[in-house]
Structure 1
Amino acid sequence: MNPRPGYADLTPQQVLDALDAVGLRGDGRILQLNSYENRVYQLFLEDGSAVVAKFYRPGRWSDAQILEEHAFALELAAAEVPVVPPLVLTGAEDGVALAGTPPTLALQGAHRWSVSARCAGREPELDDPETLRRIGRFIGRLHAVGRRCPFEHRHRLDARADGRRALALLVEGGFVPADQLPAWQASCEQALAAVEAAFDAAQPLATLRLHGDCHPGNVLWRDGSPHVVDLDDAMQGPAVQDLWMLVSGDRSTIARQLDTLIAGYEEFSEFDDRERVLIEPLRTLRMVRHAAWLAERWSDPSFPINFPYFGSSAYWSQQTTQLREQLEAMG
């Protein structure tokens, strides 16, 4: 695999210069925030405020895809859905170009970046039914806006294509050790076939613009309410994609949690109950795609450091076991 352009040339001084070039004068203080996919920094400005700058992984999204994400965030903010949209940028200089209407994306060479206000929060307490209900209301409001029109450029969730692409990448790239490959590949192919069958049986499915990666770590709790600060994985897909990662446990616990989420959700958006059966198929698809994501990013030096277990026989043996468990859960 040929590695895509990365972040080797992105030094703290270059980050400060990039912000300075769009009129945001830093006071020299910079803190790198936790993000594997992008490079995200908190910067303090001379006026005493603080912003967060996100440098998009080169080659991951097209400019059109990033700008469509930004437009969705601005549309949500205008509808008073609690998201943190990108700032409108002005006065670009030193070879930096701006894109978007209004301009929210800065471009220079291989790098694209956006800036947003700093917004802190904590993970929600999902064992509290009232918290779940409020999150359901929040997602219902987000989806009410998401249904206004479809994405044209963002990823469209396709269970068959997404799963088979991930499988091919892992097998053809030689990421699975030879001693684990037969068992893992057989289990993966069976599991993906079950995922595809579940999606086929649920058709026709309505799709809408989604957050796309709505796990507890991406839903921040602040002042008694949920909000999101990042739509980096925004996609077109069924509504349940933004709900299933918020429920866990045995079948009865998941059903009870989902009922609570949906009770809040349906104050603003209608939920198709046929999508309930897609929770375990989506969990299975995410497992396979997560492994493929690690493989795709393996040339980034930060990934072997942060995921040292990937590629070991123990890791793939565990993956095989979990796929077999998911086959039972989907049965």
Structure 2
Amino acid sequence: MNMTLDAGFAELTPDRMLDALEAVGLRCDGRMLQLNSYENRVIQVHLEDGPVAVAKFYRPARWTDAQILEEHQFALELAAAEVPMVAPWTLQPPTVEGMHLVGDPATLAVSGAQRFSVSPRCGGRAPELDDPDTLTWIGRFIARLHLVGRQRPFEHRVSWVGAQPAIDARDWLLAHDSVPLEMQAKWLDSVNRSIEAITAAYEAVPELRTLRLHGDCHPGNILWTPDKGPHFVDLDDACTGPAIQDLWMLLSGDDLAKRQQLACVLEGYETFCDFDRRELRLIEPLRCVRMIHHSAWLAKRWGDPAFPIAFPWFGDHAYWNDQITRLGEQLEAMEEAV
């Protein structure tokens, strides 16, 4: 692989991030903690006037300004509807040349290739998904998010519908020689057959309703507090898609466990929002799309030094052999779901 780190991202030193925050009126007292994030640079800082803030410096070229502002607007709409969501702050006009604000309200600061937003800190822990009451509460929470998501469409965020995300990932991996040549034909055959099955699954659900989604609703992205329950801290992967996209990643274990978990989630979800049960047949196709997309995501980010450290198993023959095997298993799962 010959990918290089996004220009300017490696130069985001602590001093530069603190200087950027000060330029929009947020003076820090020196206490700073880098938070876990592969896509962005995210820091927690203590401000001199008391509050604790979280600043997110976006990976250059990943999203356009318009896409980020749609994420922010969705978060603000959710917060206004009292859906537990951490929304970005409106920023003060910058005091340095070369930096400007965008958005109405102005929630995004832009300086060359670097862009950042700031929000209040909101802590929590991972939810206990083995508790039926917790799953039901999360179902209600996501339904409330979807009620707001239905009110208007995204214009700029990506669409997570059908096989297109898998097609784009396949084409990128081939164009960048990410799959070893001696394994490429077998992997490509598995991917192409998967894409055909994904397409057929979507064709079996005509007039599929899509809406604005969280987009990456796995347990690690949900924070839980005992008194307030679940909340999200950002919408970095917000997209357009079917409702089931925000539900299926909550399910784990064997088939019986998944059915029981799904029943709890839907019990809560349907308290606020109707659900098209035909979408259940899209769970395995969505899982397959995510697998193919994940391979391309890792390959695209391989020039970032954090990725070889975090994912040392990626890219060798064992990895691609495993992908071929798992795609075969997904094909069987999609056939059984028909």
Give the TM-score, by structure 2 length.
0.95
Partners in 2 of 1:241 and 1:275 — Cα distance? 9
Superposed CA deviations along residues 188-243 of structure 1, whole A, max 9, x for unmatched, are 21112111111111122101110000000001011340000010000111000000
Equivalent residue for 1:313, pick from 306, 311, 317 = 317
Contact 2:284 2:334 in 1 (8 A): yes
Contact in 2 for aligned 1:86/1:114 (Cα 8 Å): yes
The structure 2 residue matched to 1:94, chosen from 79, 82, 96, is 96
Q: Distance in 2 between matches of 1:31 and 1:55?
A: 14
- Per the TM alignment, residue 289 of structure 1 is displaced from its structure 2 partner at its CA by 0.2
Q: CA RMSD in A?
A: 1.3
Give 2:323's aligned amino acid: Q
Q: In the alignment, residue 124 of structure 2 is paired with which amino acid?
A: G
Residue 178 (structure 2) pairs with residue 183 (structure 1): no
**C-alpha distance in 1 between matches for 2:191 and 2:157:** 27
Of 229, 234, 239, which residue of structure 2 is paired with 1:235?
239
CA-to-aligned-CA distance 1:37-88 (integer Å, 9 cap, x gap):
0110111111232110000110111101101110100000000000000011
Q: How does 1:206-221 map to 2 (within 5 A)?
A: 206-221=209-224
Which residues of 2 match residues 1-331 of structure 1 at below 5 A? 3=4, 4-95=6-97, 96-224=99-227, 225-331=229-335
Of 63-72 and 92-101, more deviation after overlay is shown by 92-101
Where 1:29 maps in the other structure, the secondary structure is strand
Alpha-carbon displacement from aligned partner over 1:283-304 (angstroms, at most 9, x marks no partner): 0100000000011112222222
Instruction: Say which SS state the counterpart of residue 272 (structure 2) adopts.
Output: coil
Deviation at 1:2, TM superposition (A): 6.4
Alpha-carbon distance in 2 for matches of 1:164, 1:310 = 20
User: Within 1, Cα distance between the matches of 2:127 and 2:332?
Assistant: 30
Q: Secondary structure at the match of 1:179?
A: helix
Q: How far apart are 1:251 and its partner, in Å?
A: 2.7
2:161/2:240 contact within 8 Å kept: no
Return the alpha-carbon distance in structure 1 between the equivalents of residues 213 and 309 of structure 2: 31
Relative to structure 2, which stretch is displaced further, 5-14 or 277-286?
Answer: 5-14
Question: Following the alignment from structure 2 to structure 1, what is the Cα–Cα distance between the partners of residues 26 and 299?
Answer: 36
- The answer to whether the Cα contact below 8 Å between 1:6 and 1:57 also exists between their aligned partners in 2 is no
User: 1:6/1:298 Cα in 2 relative to 1: closer, same or farther (>3 Å)?
Assistant: farther
Aligned 8 A contact 1:179 1:313 in 2? no
Where 1:180 maps in the other structure, the secondary structure is helix
Q: What CA distance in whole angstroms lies between the structure 1 residues aligned with 2:217 and 2:201? A: 21
Letter in 1 for 2:255: R
For residue 6 of structure 1, report the CA deviation from its aligned partner: 4.3
SS at match of 1:159: coil
Identity of aligned residues (%): 59
Shift of 1:167: 0.8
The TM-score, its normalising length taken from structure 1, stands at: 0.97
The question of whether the paired residues in 1 share the 8 Å contact of 2:163 and 2:289 is answered with: no
Q: Give the match's secondary structure for 2:34.
A: strand
SS of aligned partner of 1:214: coil
> Which amino acid in structure 1 is aligned with residue 141 of structure 2?
F
**Is 247-256 or 212-221 further displaced after alignment?**
247-256
Q: Deviations over 1:107-133 (max 9, x none)?
A: 111101000111111111111110000
With 305-314 and 130-139 compared, the bigger mean Cα shift is at: 305-314
* Cα contact 2:8–2:114 (8 A) shared by 1: no
The answer to whether the 8 A contact 2:32-2:45 is kept is yes
Alpha-carbon shift at residue 160 of structure 1 (Å): 2.3
Q: Is contact 1:6-1:300 (8 Å) kept?
A: no
Does the 8 Å CA contact 1:5/1:59 hold for their aligned counterparts? no
- Counterpart Cα distance in 2 of 1:180 and 1:97: 48
CA distance in 1, matches of 2:124, 2:3: 38
Q: Point out the more displaced range, 310-319 or 211-220.
A: 310-319
